[in-house]
Amino acid sequence: MSTMSLGRLTLLHTRYQLLETMRVPIAVIGNLVFPSLALAFFVLPQRAVAGDPELATQAVGQLALFAVISTCIFTYGVGVAEDRALPFDAYLRTLPAGPLPRMGGRLLVGGIFSLVSLVPLILIGALFTAAAPTPAQLVGGVAAVLVGALPFLFAGLAIGYALTFKAALPIAQVVLFPMAFLGGLFLPPQLFPRWLDTASGFVPTRAARDIVVQVTTGTGATLFDFVMLVAWTVALAALAVWAYRRDQGRRFR
């Protein structure tokens, strides 16, 4: 007898993981609200930024990237570490499904929450700032944010599979905030001193930020940004695969 189809099982896992996450709304709300609050309190009062189409678009793009990166680090990093600690995770491995539907569900749930976290930011940006990207720039920007967050999807998985829940939570925070600051997601890099701007060039958040700004405003990225983004994505994906295999080997060998 064959198993249920991979597609149906993946949707099933997605549905129940969404349900489980929504039942603890504080986790979801935290991710949704923080970037919007930052936009409202730090960007809107500065009319020089909020009133300038290019600077406002740039600010919304930076915080959008922060929202998605934070979702990735937390749903994959902390969420996976938490799941691994539950005996239910091992039980699910005895069902006629294998590990793929669960992994697929995880990726889809992270993607859904990432998109949802962009909604309030885009609304605030559209209603209260001078940001006015063309529809193509808006769609391109959302795509660039998702692609730019890929290194952090893998970083999250690496943290989740390599560390225990207790270790994953602080590590996720330690990775997220300095990376976001250094990458210019809170303050635009134009305000950085020279040395910080140079250092910033080597982190994945900066590469992703420059690409998002490039797509939404037409300037900002260099070839080096693309090289850095690809290099970080490949390196962190390799780390995630290593952590996943090590974990599976320890628990299910």
Partner 1 sequence: MSTPVIEVDHVTRRFGPVVALDDVSLTVRPGELVGLLGPNGAGKTTLLSLVDGLRRPDAGVVRLFGADPRNPASRTRLGSTPQETGLPPTLRVAEVVDFVSRHYPSAQPAAALLEQFGLSGLARRQCGGLSGGEKRRLAVALALAGNPALVLLDEPTTGLDVDARLTLWEALRAYHAAGGTIVLTSHYLDEVQALAERVVVIDRGRVLADDALATVIGRVAVRRVGLTLPDGADLAPLWNLPGVVGVTADGSRVELLAGDADAVVRALVHSDVQFSGIEVRSASLEEAFLTMTAAAETATAAETAAATKTTDEGAREPA
| Torsional class of 3: left (φ above 0), alpha (ψ -120 to 50), beta (otherwise) | beta
Task: Name the residue nearer to partner 1 (CB basis): 105 or 156.
Answer: 105
- How far apart are alpha carbons 253 and 251 in whole angstroms? 6
- How far apart are alpha carbons 197 and 212 in whole angstroms? 17
Which tokens sit at 84? 């691994």
Task: Name the residue nearer to partner 1 (CB basis): 4 or 187.
Answer: 4
**Residue 250 lies near partner 1 (rule: CB under 8 A):** no
**Residue 20 lies near partner 1 (rule: CB under 8 A):** yes
Which residue type occupies 224?
Answer: F
The least CB distance from residue 108 to partner 1, in Å, is: 16
The least CB distance from residue 142 to partner 1, in Å, is: 30
Distances (CA, A) of 3 to 6, 93, 97, 243: 8, 13, 7, 28
**Residue 48 lies near partner 1 (rule: CB under 8 A):** no
**Residue 249 lies near partner 1 (rule: CB under 8 A):** no
- How far apart are alpha carbons 76 and 81 in whole angstroms? 8
Under rule CB under 8 A, how many of the chain's residues touch partner 1?
26
Distances (CA, A) of 145 to 74, 220, 245, 252: 17, 15, 28, 35
- How far apart are alpha carbons 180 and 176 in whole angstroms? 6
**Residue 194 lies near partner 1 (rule: CB under 8 A):** no
Task: Name the residue nearer to partner 1 (CB basis): 194 or 253.
Answer: 253
Print the binding letters for residues 23-42 with partner 1: x by CB under 8 A, - otherwise: xx------------------
The least CB distance from residue 3 to partner 1, in Å, is: 5
The least CB distance from residue 245 to partner 1, in Å, is: 15
Reduced to 3 states (helix: H, G, I; strand: E, B; else coil), residue 29 is helix
Only segment of 19-27, 52-60, 131-139, 207-215 that touches partner 1 (CB under 8 A): 19-27
Only segment of 6-14, 46-54, 118-126, 135-143 that touches partner 1 (CB under 8 A): 6-14
Q: Measuring CA to CA, which residue among 28, 17, 159, 24 is closest to residue 101?
A: 17
Q: Measuring CA to CA, which residue among 78, 61, 82, 67 is closest to residue 30?
A: 67
Task: Name the residue nearer to partner 1 (CB basis): 37 or 86.
Answer: 86
Which helix (H) or strand (E) segment holds residue 253: the answer is: none
Task: Name the residue nearer to partner 1 (CB basis): 91 or 195.
Answer: 91
Of 72-111, binders to partner 1 (CB under 8 A) are 86-91, 93-98
The least CB distance from residue 44 to partner 1, in Å, is: 36
DSSP string, 55-69: HHHHHHHHHHHHHHH
Q: Which residues bind partner 1 (CB under 8 A)?
A: 1-4, 8-9, 12, 16, 19-20, 23-24, 86-91, 93-98, 252-253
